Amino acid sequence: MTVALSLVITGVFYTTLSLSPLILFACMGEIIAEKSGVADLGIEGIMLMSAFVTFAIDILSRSPWLGILAGVSVGVAMGAFYGYLAIGVYLDQIASGLSLYLFGLGFSYVLFVVLSNKYAGTFPNFINIGTIYVPGISALPIIGRVLFQQNVLVYVALALVPTTAYFLQRTRIGLQIRAVGENPRAADTMGINVKRVRFEAILIGTFLAALAGAYFEIGYLQTFQFDIIMGRGFVALVMVYFSNWNPYKALVAALGFEAVNATQSEIVSLAGPSLQLSSTLFNILPYLFVLALIPIMGRRARAPKYMLVPYKKS
Amino acid sequence: MPQGVKPDNRGRLWLLYGAYYVAAIAIGIVVGLAVVAFAGGNVGLALSTLLTGPITTPAGIQQIFVRFIILCLIGLGVGLALKAGIWNIGGQGQMIIGMVMVFVVTTYLHFLTSTFLFLTIIAAAALGGLAWIVVPVVLKTKVGANEIVVTLLLNIVASNFGLYMINGPIRGPQSFGYPITATLPLNLRIPLTFGVPVVVAVGIALYLLVERTSFNLEANTIGESAVTAKYAGVGVTRVTAITMLVAGALAGLAGAFLVMGYLYHLDAGQFSTNYGLLAIIVALLGRKSMLGITVASLLFAYITIGVEEMAVVTGVQSSIEFAMEGIMLIAVLFASYLIDRSKLR
């Protein structure tokens, strides 16, 4: 019994950590972008495109690193285009973000089917990047499996949280990003190029969102389907909001979401056929967890003052 | 009609809108055709199917009208809320609840007489959609939570909830274990002769509400700045709540029309559509005016069905529809930017 229980606990925590980079990368990227005053509702679409390209290039070139590079490049290209729309020609950020999502949702799957037809449905093996086994401690019970046998990008994602906080609070460019999000006119008077800083923030943000999509392929899924990101990009947007644009709170929220999700899927698979009917009901639990947090954590949320407001020099 | 336009320029302005928006949609079609060519499909066949396919079969014409009704109902709600600066991204979720409610009523209240059952279904669907937006309304008006993120989240919840319902409570008696509902009996199906007048009535009612009462002014004031509106004595909470609730109810109603006018049953595939976002495109294309949204709905009903038929005949994956819609939305926004910048204003 105790062995079974420890296996379950290990499974839940392991899944929680190995899925968390998906939301974490996207979340940190979106925090940086929104701090500059530009929200990107299209990160789900960027993640989908990046995930597909990573998958495709990985199996075509037999190199996971090339896959990540290509996936992230496509994501950043979409981000640059979005930056032009939102910053360059002042298009509505919500609507153009959603258009990016629609595009990524449809286009990634159309291309996947083209690729799939080319291989007549049986793809060559997907090449992964290795799991890191931290010497010694990775053999520890439970903790060893959960903490020290993860994909390298999991550690990168976790390290990104304090890095983002430091970047925004302590670096020059971070200060500029916050300045153009809070008061672009004053920032402009101080000699900051508002549009350029916002554009850089969007590029960083979409780079990280694209990395999330690439990680999903390389570190977790290793295949592709329609709508494969399953709304994690949208969840990241929600997390950014009620973490009050605080990277540490976003980390807690993201881990909480994935923990609830891992727990429910563990329960469903343990209960077996008797519960299969309502497994879809269990799928709702993590989203209800997020909804329940909104009135608690979202009450004090205060968006960057000039978020969604384009900056036009008068 | 945009403010600050000289009366003698209005005709030219509408012409300009038309030209730019047609060009925007054409860009989406061209990109779609390029993808067809890339996938090795027949481009000529693709274009002719897209443009003329929907009107060549009676089923296609039926589908155009049903989709027009759906897009128009959700789009009118989205447009109404947009006037007050509120984004209802959750049309999809509200519509799904409306779809599910149809079968909740037929499953649990099947003993009602036919006419009464019919009306109960319509009411339940609208109420379901309305109920689905209550949480965003409360969170927005009481907590100040952003309605965009909440409605987005509820879309995911709604499609999972729909999957659960067709797996259990509303699964049909002859489904042989598959997640599928029963098929609606003939007397519960909506003939188009009923659906189109409903949409026209809703459109006129919203037109009167929006353009002929102080609502338009109030909503626009809130849309400009909620703080200013509050100082001006506009009931921000009231207007926000009303517009969102109306939008939710209309989307729920759209769900009922989709099921009763075209699908007649529900299976898992019905939850992965994107009518909610399509309705946003329609609302923006119609420039938030009730008449504009109606015209845009008809146009997009035709185009999207044309694209779906194109995907079938060329063997390209049908999700090309979403990609093309995304491009059309970008192009429409860009066209709006060019129009607003032009010298006519």
Whether residue A69 has pLDDT greater than 90: yes
Predicted local confidence at residue A275, as pLDDT: 55
Taking residues B213-242, what's their average pLDDT? 79
> Chain B residues with CB inside 8 Å of A301's CB?
144-145
Asked whether residue B300 carries a pLDDT value surpassing 70, the answer given is yes
**Residue B132 CB contacts under 8 Å (≥ 6 apart), including other chains:** B90, B93, B94, B97, B154, B158, B248, B252
Residue A101 reports pLDDT greater than 90: yes
pLDDT by residue (tens digit) across A246-272? 999 999 999 999 999 888 888 887 776
* C-alpha to C-alpha distance for B101 and B90, rounded to whole angstroms: 17
A157-161, B176-180, B315-319: least confident range: B176-180
Interchain CB distance below 8 Å, B152 and A277: no
Q: Is the pLDDT of residue B4 over 60?
A: no
Kindly list the residues from chain B whose CB atom is less than 8 angstroms away from the CB atom of residue A95.
Answer: 280, 284, 329, 333
Tell me whether residue A286 is in a domain: yes
DSSP sequence for A28-81? HHHHHHHHTT---TTHHHHHHHHHHHHHHHHHHHS-HHHHHHHHHHHHHHHHHH
pLDDT band with cut points at 50, 70 and 90 for residue A130: low
Residue A306 located in a structural domain: no
Q: Which of A45-49, B100-104, B286-290 has the lowest mean pLDDT?
A: B286-290
- Asked which of A37-46, B30-39, B147-156, B335-344 is least confident by mean pLDDT, the reply is B335-344
User: What is the interface pTM, i.e. ipTM, of the complex?
Assistant: 0.90
Q: Please report, for the domain that includes residue A154, its CATH number.
A: 1.10.3470
Backbone angles phi, psi at A78, to 5 degrees: -60, -40
In this prediction, residues A116-138 reach a mean pLDDT of 76
The better pLDDT of the pair B343, B92 is held by B92
pLDDT at residue A247, rounded to an integer: 94
Lowest mean pLDDT among A205-219, B30-44, B73-87, B190-204: B190-204
Is residue A75 domain-resident? yes
Q: Check residues A9 and A192 and name the one with the higher pLDDT.
A: A192
pLDDT at B270 over 90: no
As a whole number, mean pLDDT of residues B163-178 equals 83
Q: Looking at the domain assignment, is residue A307 inside a domain? A: no
Q: Give the mean model confidence (pLDDT) for residues B275-287.
A: 90
Least CA distance to B177: which residue of chain A? A277
The reply to whether A305 falls in a domain is: no
A137: closest CA of chain B, how far (Å):
39
What is the set of domains in chain B, with CATH numbers?
1-41+315-345 (no CATH), 58-305 (1.10.3470)
Q: Which residue has the higher pLDDT, B17 or B156?
A: B156
Average pLDDT over residues A15-41: 92
Residue-range definition of the domain harbouring residue A86: 11-300
Considering chain A, what percentage of its residues have pLDDT values greater than 90? 48
Chain B residue with minimum CA distance to A288: B157
Helices B91-108 and B236-258 sit at what angle, rounded to 10 degrees?
60
User: A299 at the B interface (CB within 8 A)?
Assistant: yes
pLDDT value at position A132? 67
Q: B 302-331 residues with CB below 8 A of A?
A: 316-317, 319-327, 329-330
**Does A120 score more than 90 pLDDT?**
no
Would you say residue A1 lies in a domain?
no
DSSP B139-152: IIIII---HHHHHH
pLDDT band of A273, cuts 50, 70, 90: low
Domains of chain A: total: 1
CA pair distance A22, A213, nearest whole angstrom: 7
Residue A298's pLDDT is: 67
* Rounded Cα gap, residues A304 and A162, in angstroms: 20
Q: What is the arithmetic mean of pLDDT over A162-179?
A: 94
Mean pLDDT calculated for residue range B242-255: 94
pLDDT tier at B331, thresholds 50, 70, 90: very high
Which residues in chain A have Cβ-Cβ distances shorter than 8 Å to B155?
231
Q: Is A190 part of a structural domain of the chain?
A: yes
Amino acid identity for residue A71 in this structure: G
Query: Which residue of A280, A289, A307, A309 to mutate against B (max B Cβ within 10 Å)?
Result: A280
Question: pTM value?
Answer: 0.91
The pLDDT score that the predictor gives to residue A306 is: 84
- Residue B1: the pLDDT is 43
Residues of B in contact with A41 (CB under 8 A): 148
- Residue A314 inside a domain? The answer is no
* Alpha-carbon torsion (A217, A77, A165, A230), positive or negative: negative
> In chain A, what percentage of residues exceed pLDDT 70?
93
Contact state of B322 with A105 under an 8 Å Cβ cutoff:
yes
pLDDT computed for residue B17 by the predictor: 81
Q: Please tell me the distance in Å from B163's CA to the nearest CA on chain A.
A: 6
Q: Kindly report, residue by residue over B9-50, the tens digit of the pLDDT.
A: 667 777 888 888 899 999 999 999 999 998 888 899 999 998
pLDDT band per the 50, 70, 90 thresholds, residue A125: confident
